[in-house]
Structure 1
Amino acid sequence: MFEQVHSHHLRKSPVSSPLAAAIRSVRGAFLSVAALSGVSNILMLTGPLFMLQVYDRVLASRSVPTLVALVVLMLALYLFLGTVDALRARMLVRIGWRVDEQVGPLALATTLDQVLRNDNAAVRPLNDLDQIRQFLGGAGPIAICDMPWMPLFLGIVFVFHPWLGFLALVGGILLVILTLISELATRKQVERMNRQAVSRASLVEAGRRNAEAIRAMGMQGTFNACWARLNDRYLRDNTGVGDVNSTFSAYIKVIRLAMQSGVLALGAYLAILQEVTPGVMVAASILTARALSPVEQAIGNWRGFVGARQSRHRLERCFADTQKTSERLELPAPQKSLLVSNLIVRAPATRAEGKPMAPGRVLLRISDVTLKAGDGLGIIGPSGSGKSTFGRALVGIGTIQNGTIRLDGAELDHWEPDRLGTHIGYLPQDVDLFDDTVARNIARLRHDADPVAIIKAAQSAGVHDMILSLPKGYDTLVGSGGVVLSGGQRQRIGLARALFGDPFLIVLDEPNSSLDSAGEQALIEAVRLARKRGAIVIMIAHRPSALATVNLAMVIQDGRQVAFGARDDILRKTMRQVGESA
């Protein structure tokens, strides 16, 4: 049902989206739900037929045994109806679960990819997937499945008497028109409201990350004002959509009740004329109410349907923008070299609403860099020069417009990302640990990590004794972001995580920014040991003094490589230039 509504969108793309494939995979379950809906709607005839028999047969014959038999049959059919409806609802919940299970990993990967690309688009794939799952598991699909059965009930009313059928048909047409008007009236507001919900969530997340600064520097009032502005716009649209839906729901309910009473009144008039029986009069009223009920349910769930439809559109566009990767041949572990050639890195492309993608500006240009096993490269330069951009590019993060980065001759995109990650150690400027144990953070969240390898990484980073001093040692929970640890402790555990598994390429971005003298000595020793075993270590720093353990150096200024060579030569040349400029 949900798939059919958007089939026109799928036909525009030669390759079906993962979401469309997931929905197709549960098509059989949808058909089963539709079949159960048919059984349910047929069983809904129990009430009208029971009333018809009571008025026209039991009362006329005054037969108590007939009444008892009808009551028993009616109770049995209603019990069966309850079982069918319960089974249908449970199947829909599992359909939503199944779709989420298939699409969830890709939605999560797309979310992380957005962060890596610094994509600020108002799209939250996991939130959109939640919206779709909630709709699939709710009452909306039930109302959609019940709608095709409206002609059955209206047809039976027509069989009772054409005038009764015509009146019920007019009521049905009127309700459908009101439903379409409701869709047109709320579509843009729902879309705008969803964007504002994403903006609210982003602001709250930014506030959570900067809670200390907000409190310390008296920013609570201005932060609250920012939140209030976003929240006011969200609530205004939310209220507008709610007002429209509640108004249409109320009038649709009134029209349904009026139609039911109108059919009853018309049936009474026809009964006076002896064109129908009293039983037909009551049964026609009940059937009219049942025929119009799916429309009332649909309008009540219309907001969820519109939200799910827009979420699906955003997800499909988001998945289409995500780079497709095919299965790759597993390459041997790199052991020899790192080569960078004619590298150009751009800022992420941006897309204004209603406009095509615009390429981002060039952030970095690197000509040629060749490193062999055991080399240590120090990268220095002023703030904002592109040092961290280069470090992220070396580990496969960023938008590379031109050039190549190769490990043992293989470009980075020749590797499966997870497989490549086992050969890379990366310590970013801002170390953020997971809300888990110290051991699991060092082991990169692996459940099957060898405890010996975890302890070896901690010892290599010089943090083993510090971990043992924690309340539960390696089993200490560090809290969200590592909140129970100091900045230096987080950085040293982050270094241990970078060294876990003896990776071949180790990139350390400002690794000594939060370290004391003991931590710096541990860092120097860790770099020395890593180079000794044949790893390539790249250290990014502002100060030349941080390059004591490397043999090569590079200077980056204004997004360009301006010098590369032996460390002592580069530092001597740099100091001479500083002296001349002074």
Structure 2
Amino acid sequence: MHTPSFFERSDLTRALWAFRREFFVVGLFSMVANLLMLTPTLYMLQVYDRVMLSGSDLTLLAVSLICLFLLGVMGTAEWFRSRLLVRVGVAIDQALSTRVFNASFEAYLNQTSTHPSRAFSDLIQVRQFLTGQGVFAFFDAPWTPIYIGVLFLLSPWLGALAILFALVQGFIGWFGHRHTLEPSEAAGKAYGDAQTYFQGKLQNMEVVESMGMTHNLRRQWEKKHATYLEQNDHAQALSHRIAAWSKFIRYSQQSLVLGAGALLVIDGQMTVGAMIASNVLMGRALGPIDQIVSTWRTVASVKAAFLRLERLIEEYPERDPALRRVAPAGSVTLREVVATAEGRIAPILKGISARFEPGTVTAILGPSGSGKSTLARVLVGIWPSVQGEVLLDALPMNSWDRTELGPYLGYLPQDIELFDGTLAENIARFGDVDAERVIAAAQCTGLHEMILRFPKGYDTPIGEAGQLLSGGQRQRIALARAVYGEPCLIVLDEPNANLDDAGEQALMQAIRELKAKGKTIVLITHRPNALGVADRIVLLADGRIQAQGPRDEVLASILKTPSTGRPAPIPSALPATR
């Protein structure tokens, strides 16, 4: 049985392993650069031990020219590896950004991720580490033993001193990482909590300001901010103490190496040139260790980001781009559907079975909290925790690629969310704007004349979240977006909540037109007028279907109790008359 190696264990590692040749070339350039780092040391030895003793100008010129040439080669190697890593960074982003984009939004939809932007932050962090200063430290670190070996050639005492300082620096780095990581993470979490709380209140500033809630909310924020300040102070105090010890070791190393070299010169074991060169070489030998120590915390955070990305891509793999399906007709079947939510013991939907056919309008009724909006999300395949079967034309809804399925679905949620752009872009779902289809969707929902009255017509910007529009205008534009392209399945959750009489009449007319074209329409509503266009009614209560069937039959069964013939209590979601 084949056991996958580290570089075969996941899609992410395989994607990064594809750049192994580029990193190998970077390693070659690093080898050249580090080997030529010995040039200043050798130059000092030649100047102090040969040129100054001989007094030859020609020798000094020759040595200097050779030194300049080698340093030029070293600089060129450094430049080439930096340029190559920049290109690798761009290639990594191109290879992974689309996959991370799709997977992060799918994870957010399934409530397994806090926000899609976190995944992109992780990708940027991994990419910058692999193509920045962090990776240089690992390419340079193998040369530390070579530099220490050269110090041993100059003097065994200096080589031993270099090993001692390397061990001390490594211990300080390990100690600092171990003792500052947890406090720093706690401070970062507290900061994130305070910022999230603050940003959340900014989104509702009109409510906060109008009802004088600013003072009370500020007190809550101050508590969270005080927690952050306390934890950050503790983390910074530890970090500063460790940084002070590290600085003391570095300065001591420079002075002690110079003093040890002077002692060896006095004893006749070393020349003055070797003493000065060894001091430079010691700094170069311990430089990569300093780099690794300084990036230790970064390595830990990059590792965590890498593992999160790896898990995200594995849980939400890329769909086969060659897989294409026949356009669905819009028949939806639910079989024993149970919908649950994190933090709730009881399911929201409990064994729902129903069928929604093309060319019909089904009204979903029920009191608040009965599961109507959850059912709407289940019907369009975006509720994360579903058991049972949700079939679109006899195929599981979750087996479709969302990009491919999206044009066949129209969805209008209760909470209208428009995006910064023009009216046409929002109606066209930010795809390629087909003017004829945009106008057709606007005319279907009675928006066309209203849009023409805007200064720039369909090219009018609406601002972030449609803030330049009224609630009714936002809802009608969202409705036009839902019917754009005449999708086969249209789910409308309280589509007339913010509409006036004219808007509601346009809505009813749009539903009739879509029904006549054979579309499957599901309508969640509390308004009596909307029932006039319904063919079927599904009555929900406590997550279960209490009644379903033709509109008149269901209403008759609700308004009268069959056993007594007397009127029955009317649920709050139903009108007293048809």
Give the TM-score normalised by the residue count of structure 2.
0.90
Q: Output one character per residue of 1:544-576: Cα deviation in whole Å (capped at 9) or x when no partner.
A: 432221111111111111110111222233344
Q: Output one character per residue of 1:77-113: Cα deviation in whole Å (capped at 9) or x when no partner.
A: 3333333323333333443333333332333333323
Q: 2:143, 2:79 → 1: CA distance?
A: 19
* Aligned equivalent of 1:5: none
Aligned positions of 1:97-496 closer than 5 A: 97-119=90-112, 124-196=118-190, 198-200=192-194, 202-322=196-316, 329-335=323-329, 337-348=331-342, 361-447=346-432, 449-496=433-480
- Cα offset, 1:458, TM superposition: 0.9
Q: Output one character per residue of 1:427-483: Cα deviation in whole Å (capped at 9) or x when no partner.
A: 011111111111111111102x32111111111111111111112111111111111
- Cα offset, 1:236, TM superposition: 4.4
Q: Which runs of 4+ in 1 moved over 6 A?
A: none
Say if 2:76 is the partner of 1:83.
yes
Aligned residue for 1:580, secondary structure, equals: coil
Shifted more, 146-155 versus 570-579: the winner is 570-579
Amino acid at match of 1:580: A
Aligned residue for 1:185, secondary structure, equals: helix
**Is the 2:559–2:569 Cα contact (8 Å) retained in structure 1?**
no
- Cα offset, 1:297, TM superposition: 2.2
- Cα offset, 1:151, TM superposition: 0.5
Cα distance, 1:431–1:452 mapped onto 2, change above 3 Å: same
**Is the 2:11–2:314 Cα contact (8 Å) retained in structure 1?**
no
Cα distance, 1:429–1:138 mapped onto 2, change above 3 Å: same
* Aligned equivalent of 2:33: 40
Q: 1:108, 1:131 → 2: CA distance?
A: 15
Cα distance, 1:252–1:336 mapped onto 2, change above 3 Å: closer
Q: 2:387, 2:469 → 1: CA distance?
A: 41
Q: 1:232, 1:145 → 2: CA distance?
A: 42
Which of the numbers 45, 69, 90 marks the counterpart of 1:52?
Answer: 45
Shifted more, 29-38 versus 451-460: the winner is 29-38
Q: 1:470, 1:146 → 2: CA distance?
A: 62
Shifted more, 101-110 versus 44-53: the winner is 101-110
- Cα offset, 1:125, TM superposition: 1.7
Q: Output one character per residue of 1:293-335: Cα deviation in whole Å (capped at 9) or x when no partner.
A: 1222222233322221222223333444447755674221122
RMSD, matched Cα = 2.6
Q: 1:241, 1:140 → 2: CA distance?
A: 23
Aligned residue for 1:252, secondary structure, equals: helix
Q: Output one character per residue of 1:187-236: Cα deviation in whole Å (capped at 9) or x when no partner.
A: 32344445445545543442343232222222333433444444444454
**Is the 1:378–1:539 Cα contact (8 Å) retained in structure 2?**
yes
**Is the 2:330–2:520 Cα contact (8 Å) retained in structure 1?**
no
Q: 1:248, 1:83 → 2: CA distance?
A: 36
Cα distance, 1:496–1:207 mapped onto 2, change above 3 Å: same
Cα distance, 1:446–1:327 mapped onto 2, change above 3 Å: closer
Q: 2:305, 2:188 → 1: CA distance?
A: 9
* Aligned equivalent of 1:68: 61
- Cα offset, 1:388, TM superposition: 0.4
Cα distance, 1:202–1:126 mapped onto 2, change above 3 Å: farther
Shifted more, 248-257 versus 229-238: the winner is 229-238
Q: 1:241, 1:36 → 2: CA distance?
A: 38
Q: Output one character per residue of 1:394-445: Cα deviation in whole Å (capped at 9) or x when no partner.
A: 0001135432222222221232211111111000111111111111111111
Cα distance, 1:483–1:18 mapped onto 2, change above 3 Å: farther
Q: 1:150, 1:564 → 2: CA distance?
A: 77
**Is the 1:552–1:566 Cα contact (8 Å) retained in structure 2?**
yes
Q: 2:548, 2:483 → 1: CA distance?
A: 26
Shifted more, 390-399 versus 25-34: the winner is 25-34
Q: 1:48, 1:15 → 2: CA distance?
A: 43
Q: 1:83, 1:185 → 2: CA distance?
A: 40
Aligned residue for 1:399, secondary structure, equals: coil
* Aligned equivalent of 1:553: 537
Q: 1:421, 1:309 → 2: CA distance?
A: 35
Q: 1:201, 1:21 → 2: CA distance?
A: 36
Amino acid at match of 2:263: Y
* Aligned equivalent of 1:7: none
* Aligned equivalent of 2:22: 29
* Aligned equivalent of 1:355: none
Q: 2:162, 2:62 → 1: CA distance?
A: 31
Q: 1:238, 1:17 → 2: CA distance?
A: 36
Amino acid at match of 1:73: I
* Aligned equivalent of 1:354: none
Cα distance, 1:188–1:96 mapped onto 2, change above 3 Å: farther
Cα distance, 1:227–1:131 mapped onto 2, change above 3 Å: farther
Q: 1:266, 1:336 → 2: CA distance?
A: 85
Aligned residue for 1:496, secondary structure, equals: helix
Q: Which runs of 5+ in 1 are unaligned?
A: 1-9, 351-358
**Is the 2:109–2:384 Cα contact (8 Å) retained in structure 1?**
no
Q: Output one character per residue of 1:35-83: Cα deviation in whole Å (capped at 9) or x when no partner.
A: 2222221121121111111110111001122222223333333333333
Q: 2:385, 2:154 → 1: CA distance?
A: 73
Q: Which runs of 5+ in 2 are unaligned?
A: 571-578
Q: 1:567, 1:232 → 2: CA distance?
A: 59
Q: 1:101, 1:68 → 2: CA distance?
A: 50
* Aligned equivalent of 2:575: none
Q: 2:152, 2:411 → 1: CA distance?
A: 74
Q: 1:77, 1:241 → 2: CA distance?
A: 45
Aligned residue for 1:83, secondary structure, equals: helix
**Is the 2:8–2:14 Cα contact (8 Å) retained in structure 1?**
no
Q: 1:193, 1:137 → 2: CA distance?
A: 28
Q: 1:318, 1:198 → 2: CA distance?
A: 22
Aligned residue for 1:23, secondary structure, equals: helix
Q: 1:88, 1:248 → 2: CA distance?
A: 33
Which of the numbers 485, 491, 499 marks the counterpart of 1:515?
Answer: 499
Q: 2:258, 2:74 → 1: CA distance?
A: 25
Q: 1:314, 1:243 → 2: CA distance?
A: 30
Aligned residue for 2:465, secondary structure, equals: coil
Q: 2:318, 2:235 → 1: CA distance?
A: 37
* Aligned equivalent of 2:576: none
Amino acid at match of 2:465: G
Amino acid at match of 1:62: G
Cα distance, 1:346–1:28 mapped onto 2, change above 3 Å: same
Give the TM-score normalised by the residue count of structure 1.
0.90
Aligned residue for 1:183, secondary structure, equals: helix
Q: 2:222, 2:29 → 1: CA distance?
A: 47
